[in-house]
Structures are given as structure tokens and as C-alpha cells.
């Protein structure tokens, strides 16, 4: 089937916001539109408040404002009407939109006589291959994450263990919330924000995306997942470590050794041309051989290695490529996480994660931090 050459329309909101940022460099508090012609020519539809800034940030785009498109009607018409007016000015009868394009705007375009075609392919597949500038931006966010992780480890080391097994800083019980507040402060010092930071202890750590809450206990796993986003560039970092303060139960030691071996195996296989699903399957086999099978039932009681090995990192915290059971091969310039984990309901979880860039000869970890279970 012949590939459509119809222009692609994107709206800087929701899932499309970072595609627009990638193409234009522009962010704004309110949604705005981008039309990309098959020739690569771009048209930006922004409010008058953003016009001068948009012109400076993305001079290659042709700029349109509500008043230039709708005249005296501009103040009473929204973005859908503006985009419809743009298509009419450009004599465009057919456009492509992605699966996350706002339905309401697509409906208005259709009503206005524009044939709206769904195109599920990424508008900018080149986003997956990071430029040196992008790699530098991700590395800076990753270094901020490492600085915050170092602070967590140091705080856990200073903590005393009370007779009832709680971790204490002085007379105060150490909590997940306290460590997350500390992480936030460190990240802000590095011009990054914290969104959804995980500090999950014990049974909470058996749920990979449980952000954690309440007191931290000795002898239990504490999964710390820090993924900062730069306030300046918008690029993310991502790192996870697992700590235990106090005596480590033998079962937790065995889990940790298995996860550490799994990450070492995966890292040894990272190189241009490596198949993504082969990496996932290699780690799955290792866990199976070490006596940690994966079970996905009953719902809510999943155990073992229950997520993918990793994901791309960039302007989105989860983007292409994906290290999971699907087709795809790594290429020079891909930036991915490598984060094997094991989870046992009611007991705890272990996850170790680093963010790496694929190089011509293999890979490079963007910012290092020790992998030691005992805090």
C-alpha cells in the first residue's frame, strides 16, 4: 500500500506534546497546533501571547495566530477552528493524525470537509536515535538522579534500628515521604523536578509502581526509583537501586544476586543490532534457571519478573525502543534503561536500573552508582 503523503497535524497536549516539542523546541501552557507537510515544511498555530517566542525558538516554521487565521472571529473560536482555517488557507483536503490526537478537534475538521486519516506510525521516528546534544541532556538528568540516590543511601546508613524494627533518624521514624522530600530537594538543586518517585518498603516493593508510603523497616527491601526531568531541556533520567538496612534475610539475598546477575547479563548483550526480545528472553531464562519463575495469576498476586527489561528515555520517560518481547533491534544512539526485577507478594521486590546509550562498540552507562544491597 502506498504511504500517504497527506500533511500530519499534531496538537501540543497529552501524548503528542513531546513530539511537538521535539520538532519545534517550543512548549507553552496552553495547547497549540503543528502541521507538517510531506516536504517537511512546518506550520505553527499559536496564540498571540506565544507568537514572538515561537518565532525565536522555531524560526523555520511558518507562524499563524488566531487573528491571522480567523480575523475578527478569533476571540470566539478555539484551536479546532484555527486548524480548520489553516487547512483551508493551504488548500488541504486530507490530513493524517495519530492515535492520541484529540477526538473533538478531529471531529471538527471532518465536519469542515477535511478527510482525517488515522496514522499510527510515529510522526518523528528519528526521535529514537539521540543526538550528542540529547545524550548530554539525558546524562545531566541522570547525574541529578545519582546525586539524589547518594543522599538516600547516606540517610539510610545514618538511620538507627529501633527495638521494634523501625528505622530512626534521631528520635524520628524514617518514612518513605521523608526520603521522597529529600530526593525532591536534591533534584531541584540540579534544576530537575521529581514526578512519581518511588520509595517502597517491604510488601509495597513487590508492586513495581507502588510509590510507597509510611515507615521504613529494617531487614526489608527498599526499592528507590528516581526519574527526574530537567526543567531546562525536558529530558529525563532514570535509575533504581534496592537497599536493605540491617540484617538481610537469605531469600532477599538470593533475589538480589539473581537480579544483579540478570542486569550484568543484559548489559553484556547490549550492542548495535541486538534484538530487543532476545534480551528480554535471556533475562527470563536466567530467572527461571535460578528458581524464580514468573506467574501472572491470580490478578494482584503476580510474582517473578513481571515487566519488560527496559525502555527508551528521552523527552518521554517511556519511549522507543522497548526492551520486551516484540520485534526491534538496538542501534547506535538509542538510550535505554536496563532494569530487571523480581517481586514476591507479601515479601518484597528487587530492582536494579541504569540508563545507557548504545555505542558503536557496545554501550555506556550515563551515570554510575554502586550496586550494593546493604545500606
pTM of the model: 0.94
Task: Yes or no: say if 20 and 26 are a contact pair by the CB < 8 Å rule.
Answer: yes
pLDDT tens string, the chain, 375 residues long: the values are 456 789 999 999 999 999 999 999 999 999 999 999 999 999 999 999 999 999 999 999 999 999 999 998 877 789 999 999 999 999 999 999 999 999 999 999 999 999 999 999 999 999 999 999 999 999 999 999 999 999 999 999 999 999 999 999 999 999 999 999 999 999 999 999 988 999 999 999 999 999 999 999 999 999 999 999 999 999 999 999 999 999 999 999 999 999 999 999 999 999 999 999 999 999 999 999 999 999 999 999 999 999 999 999 999 999 999 999 999 999 999 999 999 999 999 999 999 999 999 999 999 999 999 999 998
- Which residue is it, cell 544476586? 257
DSSP sequence for 309-369: SEEE-SSSSSEEEEESSSS-B--TT-EEEE--EEEETTTEEEE-BEEEEEETTEEEESS--
Residue closest to 83 by CA, chosen among 115, 117, 109, 62: 109
- SS3 sequence of 40-88: CCEEEECCHHHHHHHHHHCCCCEEECHHHHHHHHHHHCCHHHHHHHHHH
Structure confidence at residue 76 (pLDDT):
76
Find all residues with CB under 8 Å of 346, minimum gap 6, and list them: 203, 206
- Parallel/antiparallel/unpaired status of strands 228-230 and 192-194: antiparallel
What separation in angstroms does the CA of 114 have from each of 7, 18, 37, 94, 261? 12, 25, 15, 5, 55
Structure confidence at residue 2 (pLDDT):
57
Q: What is the DSSP letter of 2?
A: P
- 3-state class of 113 per DSSP? coil
Residue closest to 265 by CA, chosen among 254, 280, 249, 250: 280
Cell matching residue 58: 522555531
Structure confidence at residue 3 (pLDDT):
66
Task: Yes or no: say if 310 and 183 are a contact pair by the CB < 8 Å rule.
Answer: no
What value, to the nearest 5°, has the Cα angle with vertex 309 and ends 307 and 310? Answer: 105
Return contacts of 85-93, CB within 8 angstroms, 24+ apart: 86/33, 86/35, 86/43, 86/45, 87/35, 87/112, 87/114, 88/112, 90/7, 90/35, 90/43, 92/6, 92/7, 92/35
Distance CA 231, CA 186 (A): 13
Structure confidence at residue 4 (pLDDT):
75
Cell matching residue 238: 532514570
Structure confidence at residue 73 (pLDDT):
82
H-state helical runs in the chain: 17-24, 48-57, 66-70, 79-89, 103-111, 132-158, 176-189, 250-269, 276-289
Amino acid at each position: 500500500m502506498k504511504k500517504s503523503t497527506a500533511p500530519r497535524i499534531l496538537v501540543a497536549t497529552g501524548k503528542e506534546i513531546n513530539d511537538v516539542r521535539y520538532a519545534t523546541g517550543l512548549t507553552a501552557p496552553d495547547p497549540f497546533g503543528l502541521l507538517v507537510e510531506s516536504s517537511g515544511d512546518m506550520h505553527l498555530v499559536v496564540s498571540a501571547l506565544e507568537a514572538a517566542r515561537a518565532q525565536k525558538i522555531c524560526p523555520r516554521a511558518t507562524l499563524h495566530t488566531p487573528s491571522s487565521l480567523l480575523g475578527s472571529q478569533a476571540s470566539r473560536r478555539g484551536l479546532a477552528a484555527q486548524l480548520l482555517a489553516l487547512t483551508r488557507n493551504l488548500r488541504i483536503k486530507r490530513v493524517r493524525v495519530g492515535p492520541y490526537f484529540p477526538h473533538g478537534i478531529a471531529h471538527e475538521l471532518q465536519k469542515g470537509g477535511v478527510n482525517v486519516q488515522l496514522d499510527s506510525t510515529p510522526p518523528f521516528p528519528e526521535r529514537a536515535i539521540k543526538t550528542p546534544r540529547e545524550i548530554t541532556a539525558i546524562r545531566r538528568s541522570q547525574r541529578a538522579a545519582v546525586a539524589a540516590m547518594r543522599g538516600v543511601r547516606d540517610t539510610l546508613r545514618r538511620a538507627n534500628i529501633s527495638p521494634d524494627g523501625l528505622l530512626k533518624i534521631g528520635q524520628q521514624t524514617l518514612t518513605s515521604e521523608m526520603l521522597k522530600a529529600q530526593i525532591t530537594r536534591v533534584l531541584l538543586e540540579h534544576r530537575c523536578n521529581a514526578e512519581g518517585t518511588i520509595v517502597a518498603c517491604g510488601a509495597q516493593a513487590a508492586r513495581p509502581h507502588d510509590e510507597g508510603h509510611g515507615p521504613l523497616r529494617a531487614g526489608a527491601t527498599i526499592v528507590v526509583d528516581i526519574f527526574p526531568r530537567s526543567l531546562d531541556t525536558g529530558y529525563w533520567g532514570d535509575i533504581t537501586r534496592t537497599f536493605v538496612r540491617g540484617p538481610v534475610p537469605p531469600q532477599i539475598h538470593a533475589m538480589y544476586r539473581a537480579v544483579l546477575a540478570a542486569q550484568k547479563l543484559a548489559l553484556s548483550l547490549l550492542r548495535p543490532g541486538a534484538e530487543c526480545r532476545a534480551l528480554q528472553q535471556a533475562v527470563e531464562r536466567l530467572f527461571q534457571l535460578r528458581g524464580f519463575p514468573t506467574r501472572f495469576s491470580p490478578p494482584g498476586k503476580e510474582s517473578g519478573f513481571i515487566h519488560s527489561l527496559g525502555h527508551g528515555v528521552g523527552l518521554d520517560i517511556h519511549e522507543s525502543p522497548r526492551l520486551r518481547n516484540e520485534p526491534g533491534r538496538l542501534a547506535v544512539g538509542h538510550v535505554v534503561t536496563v532494569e530487571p526485577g523480581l517481586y514476591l507478594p507479601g515479601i518484597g521486590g528487587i530492582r536494579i536500573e541504569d540508563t545507557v546509550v548504545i555505542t558503536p562498540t557496545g554501550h555506556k552507562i550515563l551515570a554510575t552508582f554502586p550496586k550494593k544491597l546493604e545500606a
